[in-house]
Amino acid sequence: MQAATTTVGDLIADVADKFAAADLTYGHGTDNAGDEAAWLVFSVVGLSWDAGPAVYREAVSEPERARVEALASRRVHEHRPLAYLLNEAWFAGLKFYVDERVLVPRSPIAELIHEQFQPWVDPDGIHRILDLGTGSGCIAIAAAVAFDDAMVDAVDISADALAVAAINVDTHSLGARVNLLESDLFESLGRRRYDLIVANPPYVDADDMMSRAEEFRHEPSLGLASGKDGLDATRRILQQASRFLNDDGILVCEVGNSQPALEAAYPDVPFIWLTFEHGGAGVFLLNKHNLEELCQATASDKTS
């Protein structure tokens, strides 16, 4: 008797049931078992996310089914993010290579890039962009796609992360416009000036580092931990960013769950907290004038 045909829809449902029954944590590209199962099956079978509903009735080959089940088993037993098992992640509609040398892309800044940071900037005035803490290169590459005349410097302290970013720059054929630099934040940037600085620095505080779910322990701590209150890197950015901005330039920086700590530490700074249609929070905007005033106030406090 011929074995029953397994369809894409059947396999997604089966994997989703296994994920739902396991003690998994999401947040590396999906937020539920069903979407995670669909991502796994679509990736292995080689299906486009633009495919219509009819694709769920397509047959899955035995080798494809076996590979899906093997990866699903690893996801359940290792609690390893699916992005690392597949070596792929999606950000701002673009596909990226990822492995455990970099964080899995998930920043809400993708939405800002899609909107070309409007109404906060005139897209025609954006010629030089800095991506601080580039990791996989996802923000730098997405920004280069969104601003097709801009030059982008992509900075990271980790040589391992920059090796991953180089793969993605090459994949997206952006080597002429995305420049990868090993630097501890602004340290190696000399006298460069930018119209837009986008920063996604480490911002996880000590308590959250200790209590984070197993899935997040597969990610490099260098890209997450930022001192007791999660603000070690952000404080440095706030003190230095104005020197690297053109007169009309802006800083957009993500601090995630450390937003309350930042507001408490800088009660007089007029942070603009950005809102997102598709979810996400903890991203602020300041212009060059705001940052210069912050530096002046800090210097005054030190001398008083």
For each of the domains in the chain, give its residue range(s) and CATH number, in order of start.
8-86 (1.10.8), 91-303 (3.40.50.150)
Tell me 204's DSSP state: B
Contact 216, 202 (CB under 8 A): no
User: Region 134-138: what's the mean pLDDT?
Assistant: 98
Task: Give 1's pLDDT tier (boundaries 50, 70, 90).
Answer: very low
The pTM score is 0.94
Backbone angles phi, psi at 276, to 5 degrees: -130, 130
What is the spatial distance between Cα 190 and Cα 66, in angstroms, rounded to a whole number? 53
What integer best gives the mean pLDDT of the chain?
95
Tell me the average pLDDT across 45-54: 86
Say if residue 103's pLDDT is above 90: yes
List pLDDT tens digits, range 251-297: 999 999 999 999 999 999 999 999 999 889 999 999 999 999 999 88
Strand partners for 129: 152, 196
Q: Model confidence at 302, in pLDDT bands (50, 70, 90)?
A: low
- Asked if pLDDT for residue 54 goes beyond 70, the answer is yes
287: helix, coil or strand? Answer: strand
The separation between the first and the last C-alpha atoms of the chain, rounded to the nearest angstrom, is 88
